Structure formats: structure tokens, C-alpha cells
Structure 1
């Protein structure tokens, strides 16, 4: 028979999902909530392992999912060896390192920045856009100006290694991204035909109160046209959270995600009763259906979580991995399923 405390916990966290008052947050609540599959944090690619561990420090002490995802994605943003996210990202074809990010909380609040230069933590600026302005998205010089006005320091983001790769690319100026190069980010290398690629970290967290938040951040496709923006900073494309249902994030060729409003689609499919993995599979299947020939040479993947703490992922091509962190294990890496 359930004792009174467990009954109340199940009723508050499991059924209603209403946020517990801060005074009852703590490790005991986190421990009991974990029996209901949360707290939990999931993120894209192998660099999500370290990011998840940073997020887990927040979640395991009863912290809010929003704080967890911001802390988590800051790890790859600051990693000098990660050329797909943040300060060490490869530049566009004109030599500019431009960063994109967005964040969304359990109340539907959201903020983002796109094509922002000289600021090494775009996710933190995106959160300020959400919390301090009436807007959702700031871009380019306006985003940089906003960051500087709020205490961020201007920084040269083009690292010697990234500059060397860019100058090598300029010899042919051939733009042909390679699928899943993000898995090689710890040892960036010259590819056939001087091809390079970029990708994204998308993160979703479900905290002890049963609330979901998400974050997505990237330096965009390597050697893109100056001013190009992909799906990562766009709410509904690179990231979407509905606290009644769940959350989703994406990775891969952002143009195809935008055209299909991918993360919003995944969440709406979960609303209709799809499990997270099935919702992700349906979303990538729609991309393939619209462009069957092109889909054979591009990668898009989706990652999702629902209110029960169930998660899943699906991609067009093999090779998409995602990291999972909960009370049981903090460094789990899973190979997502794929169509091809």
C-alpha cells in the first residue's frame, strides 16, 4: 500500500505535472521522481555526454529544466575542439564566425539569436532575449549589440585552427557537406574535396517537477553564405517545447527542417499519441517523401521526449547518436535508428 507521502508525490508530479514549491525541492524529491523516469536530460551527438553531465548537476539538486539546458549546452559552446558549436566554430565563406541559438521553457517563453558575431555563448544571449525583451529573435549586429549592452564581452571567435581550415577550403570553394561529420569533431580533418560540415547540439530536459525546457545552439554549416541561418535558432524548427506534451529538437541540414517545421511536427505527433521515436520517424519520413532523391545524400535527425520521460530519436541516415543522462546513468550514448 502506498504511504501518504508517495501518494501525494505521484499525484503532484505524475498526474498534474504542477511545479512543486521550491521549499520541497531536494535530493529526496529527485530520488523519488526518478522512479517516474525523471529528472532526465537528453541531447544530440557524442558531445552531448559532457553537456548532459553539466545539466545533471542542476537537475539532480532539484533545479529547473531551463537552467539545466542552458548550463548543459554551454559546455560544447566553449569547447575549443568542437568546430560545430560555439566559439571554435568554422566560419562562413567570407571568414565570419556567426552563431545561432534558441531556448524555450515550460511556459512557452522562448528566445533566440541568429548570425551573431563576437559573442561566445549565444545560448545565454538567447535566454536574455526571452527574459528581457518583448521579442523572440534578434539577428546579426542587433544581437551582438544587445549582448554587449547586457554585459557580454566582445571576442574574436575565428581560431587559428578554424582559420586554417577556411583557407584550405578557399582553394576550391566547394560546398558539399559530409553526412555525420559531427561525430569527428574531436579531431577535425581535411575531407575529400575540401568538404567540411557543421552541426548542432539540441538538448531537452525534464526536471523533478515534471517540467520540460529545451535549448539548441550551433555555429551553422561550415562555409555557408554570409547571412545564412538554419533551423537551430528558429522556434518550431530546431526546437519546440509544449509542457502538456513534450519537446523535440533537430540536427542536420537545417533548410529541410525549416521547410517541414520539424520539431513542432514531432511534438504535435506526440500530442496525437505517437511515442517519441515514432514521432521522430514520421517527421523524417515526410522529408523523404517530399524529396526522395535528395534525401539519399542528406542527414536530418530528430530527438524527442514526452511528459512521462520517454524518449526516442530517428534520422534519415545511419550514424546519428544521442546522449541520455538520468539518475541511473550519466554517460549513456545511443545510436539512433534511421530510414536508410
Structure 2
């Protein structure tokens, strides 16, 4: 009997070790192996197109870092998207300035701010991460670095965005819009109200087949901003944060309010305390409201989060924010719950 008991104990320990080594997790009374279930999550409905680019890498067992870079490069190169990359609406002086950051599973990160003339700001940010001892390069220095590394200088101000800017100059009335409407988007192809026709920044997070997380965030910032303005998007901890033990988060909307609460880092830390992705995003939004209840009624901020279990969720100040999820068995746009109804 003693030898039988010892055998059963040894077998049980061996089974537990096997489960641990393959990172199996229990959820909804089912067993999921996160090492075989990659997923990509991004802001807004147009994130579906970006997710498709990321999935080309994730679905073949590629690294999450490569996937998020490839994914967000798609809207960066889309001239009909007036809030990211090529064709982005300019600042009040007519300059299209881009902000972007990227972060991998090992806390490595890179960022560019106020970058002009380069379509793929996210790729420059990755080179800052991989080729320099720094995290952030800005303005002329960021441009010099990009050109020295083979990027081509281009005019990012398209005729459509230039026309919109000149129309704005007639009044120069500056008031950030809630859920920015992309005037160039074909609404008849919009798969969901509040989808691709309403957006600004793209933030993306992915978990690859090895269970590792990475994230990317890129934008042309608020239209008609003061030249030199930087929002939350390129700031690690504000617009994006990745902790490979816990999860990742990204944000969209009026970046100044996200910076004030170091929003994406806050969301990840709330998930560390055991909160679900949606609940963590909700608490971050509530903190913005608590800090300035009156101002929060007139702006939009949204957070999206992905935890280490592969669970995702979002929450925003105002209705209209949506997010996109792509995986082996899902490719869908979800509406976010919001503080204001």
C-alpha cells in the first residue's frame, strides 16, 4: 500500500508539472493552452484591417513584436485614414507630425515624437529600441535617425488633408472632437456603427503562440494641435504598456487626460491586483472622471486591455468606442461599455 500511495503521489506531481510547463489555464470550466492560442486586439473598427496584417505573422507562430509592428503599419500607410501616418491631419501650422511607441515582452521599448516626413513611425520607434541606448527620440533628431537608417523622406500632407486644414484656418476654432469622424471613409462599408468612421490613434496588443505579449501605438495626434504637441501615444506607460507577467493595455482619445493618470500602466497594475481587463479599464476611466468631472463630459478616452490569460476588454468615457479582436476562432468588432450613456 505504501508503494502504491507513493506511486500515486509521484504521478500527481508529474501531471501538475506537465500542466505548468505548457501554461494551461482554467477558464469558464474549460482548459485553454495559451501557448497555442495567439490573439491580437486593437482600438477601433479599422483595427480589423490592421489585425489581419498582424495575424499573418501570429497565425504562423511568429513573434508578437513582429505582429504588432506589421499590423499598425497598415493604417500608417493608408492615406484615407486622417489620424495616422500618411494623410494624417496636420497641426495648426500645416505640419504632419507623428508619434509612436512599441514595447516587447522583455520591457524593451522605443518611441518617436514629433516625427515628420516618415510614413512608418512605428518602425523607427522599433529601431530606437533595438539600435540605441535610448527609449525616445524626438523631432529633428528622430528624423535624422530615420534617414540614417534607410527610411525615405516623404510628404505626408495629402491634398485631402491639406484642404481640410485650410478650411479649418478660416475659423481656427480648436476643440478636440469626440469619436473623430473620418470624412474620407466610405460609411456604406462600415461593419458597425461607431466603427472605422470614428477613430483616432491605433493601439494594438498581441499574444503569440509562446504566450508572450507585445504592443504598438501610432498616431498623427490631435488635428490642428499646437506645433510640437505630444499626446499619450508615444509615452510608455501612458498610451501603451506591456508587462509579460500580467498583460498589456493601450489607450485612445484625448492624450492629455491619459498622461495625467499614466493610464495604460494603471490598467496593467489593476489587472495585477486581479481585476479583469474590462474592470481595470473601467476603473482607469473612473479616475479620469473623478479628477475632472466637468471636463470628462466633453472628451473621449478609451482603454483596451489584454491579460496573460488571453482575456480582453475595454471601457471608455463616451459611447461610440469599439475595438477589434482577431484569433483562431474570432474576428470581430466589439462595442465598449462607457461611463456616460
Q: TM-score, normalised by structure 2?
A: 0.87
| Partner Cα distance (1:47, 1:9) in 2 | 40
Residue 244 of structure 2 is matched in structure 1 by 243
| Partner Cα distance (2:154, 2:246) in 1 | 39
Residue 23 of structure 1 is matched in structure 2 by none
* Matched residues, number: 312
2:306 equivalent to 1:305: yes
Residue 333 of structure 1 is matched in structure 2 by 333
| Partner Cα distance (1:230, 1:88) in 2 | 18
2:186 equivalent to 1:177: no
Kept after mapping to 1: 8 A contact 2:201/2:233: yes
Note the 1:1-340 alignment, pairs <5 A. Answer: 10-14=19-23, 38-182=37-181, 186-187=185-186, 199-330=200-331, 332-340=332-340
Change (3 A) 1:113 1:325: same
Change (3 A) 1:184 1:168: closer
Change (3 A) 1:108 1:122: same
Kept after mapping to 2: 8 A contact 1:198/1:221: no
Cα deviation, residue 12, structure 1: 3.0
Moved over 4 A (4+): 6-10, 32-37, 182-185
Residue 234 of structure 1 aligns to a residue in which SS?
Answer: coil
Change (3 A) 1:241 1:208: same
Instruction: State the Cα deviation string for residues 51-110 of structure 1 (Å, max 9, x = none).
Output: 001101100110000000000000100111100111110000000000000000000000
Instruction: State the Cα deviation string for residues 218-261 of structure 1 (Å, max 9, x = none).
Output: 00000000000000000000000000100000000000000110
Kept after mapping to 1: 8 A contact 2:241/2:264: yes
Kept after mapping to 1: 8 A contact 2:34/2:211: no
Kept after mapping to 2: 8 A contact 1:46/1:183: no
Kept after mapping to 2: 8 A contact 1:33/1:208: no
Residue 304 of structure 2 aligns to a residue in which SS?
Answer: strand
| Partner Cα distance (1:272, 1:9) in 2 | 27
Residue 147 of structure 1 aligns to a residue in which SS?
Answer: helix
Kept after mapping to 1: 8 A contact 2:102/2:111: yes
Residue 23 of structure 2 aligns to a residue in which SS?
Answer: helix
Cα deviation, residue 11, structure 1: 3.0
| Partner Cα distance (1:48, 1:139) in 2 | 26
Cα deviation, residue 46, structure 1: 1.0
* Structure number with larger C-alpha Rg: 2
Residue 297 of structure 2 aligns to a residue in which SS?
Answer: helix
Cα deviation, residue 15, structure 1: 5.5
Residue 6 of structure 2 is matched in structure 1 by none
Kept after mapping to 2: 8 A contact 1:14/1:36: yes
- Which ranges in structure 2 are unaligned for 5 or more consecutive residues? 1-14, 26-30, 188-197
Change (3 A) 1:333 1:9: farther
Q: TM-score, normalised by structure 1?
A: 0.88
Cα deviation, residue 13, structure 1: 3.8
Cα deviation, residue 38, structure 1: 2.6
Kept after mapping to 1: 8 A contact 2:165/2:224: yes
Change (3 A) 1:276 1:58: same
